């Protein structure tokens, strides 16, 4: 840890990254201002009981197309403390690589049984669980033929912990060429779900994805 702020890297061949990544070195926060940079998200979360099951749009609806998976994990701070009662917001594309988002103009196939939006809370041990459809990879940049590998977006907030990240899948052909993965380098491995034994007949694959919220943000109030 030097006494200079970081220079943020630009994702290779990524238009928005080029347009939006600050070019100046990040400034260091003076000691007297440090605590003011640690938002504390109030516990005012909205979830509905079935949102943990993203494989269908409602309990009485059929399963969406594709491979149903279970994702479980534990959320901790870098010092190992479980992050309990945090909100995990999850979004992912359907089996065909399409988001049910009004701004997804890819034209890929929608699935009437797939919403791809879910919210769960971590329990007292920081553990979470949800079901999803294994998302399709999608062609993010048709102009240069670049695909985004299969991934599930996750936003975590609770207390002073805050993280937006993505879970990737092991052995995917597009992992190596993904601009965000390239920026992560060897640390990309931490963002790959670990396959594990499936414990229920209701899903076909299961993954563990433990999340560690790093940096001062998570630890300032510990």
Partner 1 sequence: MTDPASNLLPATNEDTCGPYFPIFFADPGLEDLTKFDPGVVGQAAGTSLVLRGRVLDRHGELANGVVMEFWQANANGVYRTPATEGHADIDPWFHGYGRLRSATGAYEFRTILPGAAEGRAPNITITIFSDGINRVVTQMFFDNQPGNEADPLLLAVGDDAPKLIARHDGRTSSGAEVYVFDIVMAGDGETPFFDDLES
Taking CA atoms, 165 is separated from 41, 106, 201, 202, in Å, by 17, 22, 29, 26
For the segment 94-113, give every residue that binds partner 1 (CB under 8 A): 99, 101-104
For the segment 53-92, give every residue that binds partner 1 (CB under 8 A): 76-80, 89, 91
Nearer to partner 1 by C-beta: 127 or 198? 127
For the segment 120-149, give every residue that binds partner 1 (CB under 8 A): none
User: 99 catalytic, yes or no?
Assistant: yes
Q: How far is the CB of 201 from partner 1 (least distance, A)?
A: 30
Taking CA atoms, 153 is separated from 92, 166, 174, in Å, by 6, 4, 17
CA-to-CA distance for 217 and 77, rounded, in angstroms? Answer: 10
Using the rule CB under 8 A, which residue among 37, 67, 110, 125 binds partner 1?
37
For the segment 147-206, give every residue that binds partner 1 (CB under 8 A): 153, 155, 159-160, 162-166, 180, 184, 187-188, 190-191
- Residue 10, classified by CB atoms within 10 Å of its CB into exposed (0-12), middle (13-18) or buried (19+), is middle
**For residues 113 and 176, is the Cβ–Cβ distance under 8 A?**
no
User: 153 catalytic, yes or no?
Assistant: yes
Nearer to partner 1 by C-beta: 2 or 145? 2
């Amino acid at each position: 840890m030097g006494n200079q702020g970081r220079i943020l890297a630009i994702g290779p061949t990524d238009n928005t990254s080029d347009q939006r990544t600050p070019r100046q070195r990040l400034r260091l926060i003076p000691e007297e201002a440090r605590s003011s940079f640690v938002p504390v998200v109030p516990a005012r979360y909205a979830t509905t009981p079935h949102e943990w099951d993203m494989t269908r749009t409602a309990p009485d609806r059929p399963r969406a197309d594709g491979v149903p998976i279970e994702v479980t994990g534990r959320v901790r701070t870098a010092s190992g403390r479980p992050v309990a009662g945090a909100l995990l917001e999850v979004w992912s594309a359907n089996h065909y690589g399409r988001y049910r988002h009004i701004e997804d103009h890819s034209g890929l196939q929608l699935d009437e049984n797939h919403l791809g939006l879910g919210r769960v809370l971590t329990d007292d041990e920081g553990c979470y669980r949800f079901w999803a459809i294994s998302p399709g990879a999608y062609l993010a940049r048709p102009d240069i033929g670049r695909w985004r590998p299969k991934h599930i977006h996750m936003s975590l907030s609770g207390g002073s912990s805050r993280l937006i990240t993505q879970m990737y899948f092991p052995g995917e052909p597009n992992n190596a060429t993904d601009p965000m993965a390239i920026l992560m380098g060897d640390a990309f491995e931490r963002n790959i779900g670990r396959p594990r034994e499936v414990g229920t007949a209701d899903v076909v694959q299961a993954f563990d994805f433990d999340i560690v919220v790093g940096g001062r943000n998570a630890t300032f109030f510990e």
